Amino acid sequence: MFFKSIDGSNIVKTGEKLFEMLDSLVEEIGEENVVQVITDNRSNYVLAGKLLEEKILHLYWTPCAAHGIDLMLEDIGKLHLIKKTIQRRVSLVGFIYSHSSTLSLLRQFTNKWELVRHVVTRFAISYLSLQRLHQEKKKLR
Protein backbone atom coordinates (compact mmCIF):
# COMPACT_ATOMS: atom_id res chain seq x y z
CA MET A 1 0.00 0.00 0.00
CA PHE A 2 1.10 3.57 -0.52
CA PHE A 3 2.05 5.15 2.79
CA LYS A 4 3.39 8.61 2.08
CA SER A 5 5.31 10.84 -0.24
CA ILE A 6 8.48 12.74 0.59
CA ASP A 7 9.67 15.83 -1.28
CA GLY A 8 13.28 14.93 -1.93
CA SER A 9 13.98 17.72 -4.41
CA ASN A 10 16.34 19.48 -2.01
CA ILE A 11 18.59 16.47 -1.25
CA VAL A 12 21.26 14.67 -3.19
CA LYS A 13 19.89 11.19 -3.81
CA THR A 14 22.86 9.02 -2.93
CA GLY A 15 22.26 5.39 -2.02
CA GLU A 16 23.10 6.15 1.60
CA LYS A 17 20.68 9.11 1.79
CA LEU A 18 17.91 7.09 0.16
CA PHE A 19 18.60 4.29 2.62
CA GLU A 20 18.22 6.75 5.51
CA MET A 21 14.89 7.99 4.11
CA LEU A 22 13.54 4.49 3.48
CA ASP A 23 14.80 3.23 6.83
CA SER A 24 13.05 6.09 8.66
CA LEU A 25 9.82 5.22 6.84
CA VAL A 26 10.16 1.56 7.81
CA GLU A 27 10.73 2.60 11.43
CA GLU A 28 7.71 4.94 11.28
CA ILE A 29 5.50 2.13 9.96
CA GLY A 30 7.10 -0.48 12.18
CA GLU A 31 9.62 -3.06 10.98
CA GLU A 32 7.20 -5.88 11.78
CA ASN A 33 4.66 -4.36 9.35
CA VAL A 34 6.96 -4.07 6.33
CA VAL A 35 7.97 -7.07 4.24
CA GLN A 36 8.87 -5.46 0.92
CA VAL A 37 10.14 -2.18 -0.51
CA ILE A 38 9.91 -1.54 -4.25
CA THR A 39 11.99 1.15 -5.95
CA ASP A 40 13.22 1.87 -9.44
CA ASN A 41 16.37 0.24 -10.75
CA ARG A 42 18.85 3.11 -10.59
CA SER A 43 22.08 2.20 -8.84
CA ASN A 44 21.45 4.55 -5.90
CA TYR A 45 18.10 2.84 -5.20
CA VAL A 46 19.66 -0.60 -5.61
CA LEU A 47 22.23 0.32 -2.97
CA ALA A 48 19.54 1.67 -0.65
CA GLY A 49 17.54 -1.54 -1.08
CA LYS A 50 20.53 -3.74 -0.36
CA LEU A 51 21.36 -1.72 2.77
CA LEU A 52 17.76 -2.11 3.94
CA GLU A 53 17.91 -5.87 3.39
CA GLU A 54 21.13 -6.07 5.37
CA LYS A 55 19.65 -4.12 8.28
CA ILE A 56 16.20 -5.74 8.34
CA LEU A 57 16.64 -9.43 7.60
CA HIS A 58 12.97 -10.23 6.89
CA LEU A 59 12.58 -7.31 4.45
CA TYR A 60 12.88 -7.77 0.70
CA TRP A 61 13.89 -5.06 -1.72
CA THR A 62 12.45 -5.49 -5.21
CA PRO A 63 13.26 -3.50 -8.32
CA CYS A 64 10.22 -2.03 -10.05
CA ALA A 65 9.19 -4.33 -12.91
CA ALA A 66 7.68 -1.48 -14.94
CA HIS A 67 10.93 0.47 -14.71
CA GLY A 68 12.89 -2.60 -15.80
CA ILE A 69 10.61 -3.19 -18.78
CA ASP A 70 10.83 0.50 -19.67
CA LEU A 71 14.64 0.30 -19.66
CA MET A 72 14.53 -2.79 -21.91
CA LEU A 73 12.19 -1.03 -24.35
CA GLU A 74 14.51 1.98 -24.35
CA ASP A 75 17.42 -0.26 -25.35
CA ILE A 76 15.34 -2.02 -28.03
CA GLY A 77 14.33 1.42 -29.33
CA LYS A 78 18.01 2.19 -30.01
CA LEU A 79 18.23 -0.57 -32.63
CA HIS A 80 18.42 1.05 -36.07
CA LEU A 81 15.29 -0.49 -37.61
CA ILE A 82 13.20 0.04 -34.48
CA LYS A 83 14.44 3.61 -34.04
CA LYS A 84 13.56 4.40 -37.67
CA THR A 85 10.10 2.85 -37.26
CA ILE A 86 9.44 4.85 -34.08
CA GLN A 87 10.57 8.08 -35.78
CA ARG A 88 8.14 7.40 -38.64
CA ARG A 89 5.37 6.71 -36.14
CA VAL A 90 6.06 10.01 -34.35
CA SER A 91 5.92 11.85 -37.68
CA LEU A 92 2.71 10.13 -38.80
CA VAL A 93 0.87 10.66 -35.52
CA GLY A 94 2.14 14.25 -35.35
CA PHE A 95 0.88 14.90 -38.87
CA ILE A 96 -2.55 13.46 -38.13
CA TYR A 97 -3.00 15.46 -34.93
CA SER A 98 -1.76 18.73 -36.44
CA HIS A 99 -4.26 18.66 -39.33
CA SER A 100 -7.86 18.91 -38.19
CA SER A 101 -9.37 17.45 -41.36
CA THR A 102 -7.07 14.42 -41.19
CA LEU A 103 -7.83 14.03 -37.48
CA SER A 104 -11.55 14.21 -38.25
CA LEU A 105 -11.18 11.42 -40.83
CA LEU A 106 -9.22 9.31 -38.34
CA ARG A 107 -11.96 9.65 -35.76
CA GLN A 108 -14.66 8.94 -38.35
CA PHE A 109 -13.09 5.70 -39.62
CA THR A 110 -11.87 4.37 -36.25
CA ASN A 111 -15.08 4.91 -34.27
CA LYS A 112 -13.43 7.84 -32.46
CA TRP A 113 -10.47 5.83 -31.24
CA GLU A 114 -7.46 7.96 -30.48
CA LEU A 115 -3.90 7.10 -31.38
CA VAL A 116 -1.36 6.91 -28.58
CA ARG A 117 0.56 10.18 -28.79
CA HIS A 118 4.29 10.52 -28.30
CA VAL A 119 5.73 11.50 -24.93
CA VAL A 120 9.40 11.73 -24.07
CA THR A 121 9.33 10.23 -20.58
CA ARG A 122 8.20 6.64 -21.19
CA PHE A 123 9.49 4.35 -23.91
CA ALA A 124 6.56 1.95 -23.66
CA ILE A 125 4.41 4.67 -25.25
CA SER A 126 6.29 4.21 -28.53
CA TYR A 127 5.33 0.55 -28.63
CA LEU A 128 1.74 1.19 -27.56
CA SER A 129 1.43 3.75 -30.31
CA LEU A 130 2.85 1.35 -32.89
CA GLN A 131 0.40 -1.29 -31.71
CA ARG A 132 -2.53 1.11 -32.15
CA LEU A 133 -1.33 2.14 -35.63
CA HIS A 134 -1.07 -1.53 -36.57
CA GLN A 135 -4.58 -2.24 -35.23
CA GLU A 136 -6.03 0.63 -37.24
CA LYS A 137 -3.84 0.11 -40.32
CA LYS A 138 -6.68 -0.71 -42.74
CA LYS A 139 -8.87 2.11 -41.47
CA LEU A 140 -6.01 4.60 -41.64
CA ARG A 141 -5.28 3.65 -45.25
What per-residue string of b and e applies to 49-66 under the rule 16 or more CB within 10 Å gives b?
bebbeeebeebebebeee
Residue 37, domain extent: 15-63
> Average pLDDT of 91-110?
91
Same domain, 88 and 120: yes
- Answer whether residue 16 shows pLDDT above 80: yes
Assigned domain for 55 exists: yes
Q: Please indicate, yes or no, whether residues 76 and 133 belong to a single structural domain of this protein.
A: yes
Is 3 among the domain residues? no
One domain, residues 56 and 31:
yes
DSSP run (H or E) holding 36: strand 36-39
Q: Are residues 93 and 111 in the same domain?
A: yes
Q: Are residues 107 and 74 in the same domain?
A: yes
- Specify the pLDDT at position 114: 83
Q: What's the pTM?
A: 0.54
In a domain, residue 123? The reply is: yes
pLDDT at 131: 83
- pLDDT of 46 reads 92
Looking at the structure, tell me whether residues 58 and 73 fall in a common domain.
no
User: Of 63, 86, 119, which closes a domain?
Assistant: 63
Half-sphere exposure of 100 (CA within 13 A, CB side): 0
In this prediction, residues 79-97 reach a mean pLDDT of 90
Q: 76 and 131 share a domain? A: yes
> Is the domain of 136 the same as that of 75?
yes
- Cα separation, 135 vs 127, in Å, equals 12
